[in-house]
């Protein structure tokens, strides 16, 4: 059965006060939206939505009895039971003559399973070119960070070493940079399953495939989280007698990146 996208006019916008409209699209469940924006060309209006679409009518897989739920010890993640989670671009269009949105046939979908898509936060609600996300590997765990070029339809990635578990990647703009959309860094909080410590990986957003430019090994593990956001101000407590210590292991800042694993 088809899924439905609801379009609600913004308060204070040109169509404020008008009734909401709906558009039917292919079956799928959306947990995470990377970004959306509106294009205007004469009397034609387009809404572009980049989102992670899970196959089926639910974001959760179903067990062999048809009920929502998934047991990784009993169910094979690679056997077709787990739903696919792909980056899809939805394109909706309307004209002054029709005054109704229709889904264009040109919506595209990438094959790689991903989670936690995001963009440079200064492009929220504006036309963007790049999307960053966590990518799944053959073991059905998040194993790499992926950068999508939505203009060229290409992807680049860097794979983390084995037994590393990745949280949502966050884009941080470069201080004093050129202002280009991808001029900055992609930051990932990673749990190292071998050392049982968390690590902070910092990658050059323009050269994701080259791996991290810096890796910071923490002295402890950070409880695994779902979502992250970059802020340029530290909001935590400041100790009056805090002193800078020489980095030690763990807790060491490392410039060299560990060897990448393949996905």
- Written as six digits, the tokens of 126 are 């504006």
Q: Which range of residues forms the domain containing residue 180? A: 3-235+244-254
Domain count of the chain? 1
- Please check whether residue 260 lies inside any domain of the structure: no
pLDDT tens by residue, 223-244: 877 777 888 788 777 765 555 5
- Please check whether residue 226 lies inside any domain of the structure: yes
- Please check whether residue 203 lies inside any domain of the structure: yes
pLDDT tens by residue, 122-138: 999 999 999 999 988 76
Residue whose token pair is 């970004």: 35
- Please check whether residue 259 lies inside any domain of the structure: no
CA atoms within 13 A on the CB side of 44: 7
Rg over alpha carbons for the chain, rounded to the nearest Å, is: 21
Name the nearest CA neighbour of 7 among 25, 29, 22, 24. 22
- Please check whether residue 263 lies inside any domain of the structure: no
Q: If the chain, 263 residues long, is cut into consecutive pieces of 10 residues, what is the mean pLDDT of each piece?
A: 85 80 85 92 89 69 50 46 80 76 68 89 95 80 90 92 89 91 95 92 96 94 80 76 50 48 35
Residue 122 DSSP SS3: helix
- Please check whether residue 27 lies inside any domain of the structure: yes
Calculate the alpha carbon distances from 97 to 11, 15, 23, 94, 100 in Å: 23, 15, 17, 8, 9
Give the pLDDT score at 256.
46
> Is 128 labeled as ligand-binding?
no
d(CA 90, CA 7): 13
Give the pLDDT score at 254.
54
Give the pLDDT score at 31.
83
Give the pLDDT score at 182.
97
d(CA 221, CA 68): 31
Q: With b meaning 16 or more CB within 10 Å and e meaning fewer, what string describes 23-44?
A: bebeebbbebebbbeeeeeeee
Calculate the alpha carbon distances from 137 to 56, 145, 165, 210, 212 in Å: 21, 11, 11, 18, 19
- Please check whether residue 261 lies inside any domain of the structure: no
12 contacts: CB under 8 Å, gap ≥ 6: none
DSSP state of 207: G
> Is 6 labeled as ligand-binding?
no
Give the pLDDT score at 125.
93
């Amino acid at each position: 059965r088809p899924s439905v996208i609801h379009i609600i006019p913004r308060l204070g916008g040109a169509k404020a006060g008008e009734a909401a409209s709906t558009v039917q699209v292919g079956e799928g469940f959306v947990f995470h939206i990377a970004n959306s924006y509106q294009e205007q060309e004469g009397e034609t209006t387009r809404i572009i939505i980049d989102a992670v679409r899970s196959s089926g009518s639910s974001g959760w897989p179903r067990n062999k009895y048809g009920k929502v739920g998934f047991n990784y010890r009993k169910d094979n993640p690679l056997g077709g039971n787990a739903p696919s989670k792909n980056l899809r671009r939805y394109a909706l269009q309307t004209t002054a003559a029709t005054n109704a949105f229709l889904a264009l046939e040109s919506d595209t979908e990438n094959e790689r399973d991903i989670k936690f898509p995001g963009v440079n936060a200064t492009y929220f609600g504006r036309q963007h070119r790049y999307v960053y996300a966590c990518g799944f590997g053959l073991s059905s765990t998040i194993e790499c960070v992926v950068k999508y070029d939505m203009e060229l339809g290409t992807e680049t990635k860097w794979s983390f070493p084995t037994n590393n578990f990745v949280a949502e990647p966050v884009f941080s703009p470069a201080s004093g940079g050129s202002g280009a959309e991808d001029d900055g860094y992609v930051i990932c909080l990673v749990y190292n399953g071998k050392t049982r410590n968390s690590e902070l990986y910092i990658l050059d957003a323009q050269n994701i495939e080259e791996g991290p430019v810096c890796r910071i090994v923490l002295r402890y593990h950070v409880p695994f989280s779902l979502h992250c956001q970059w802020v340029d101000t530290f909001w935590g407590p400041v100790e009056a007698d805090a002193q800078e210590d020489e980095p030690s292991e763990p807790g060491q800042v490392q410039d060299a990146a560990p060897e990448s694993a393949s996905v």
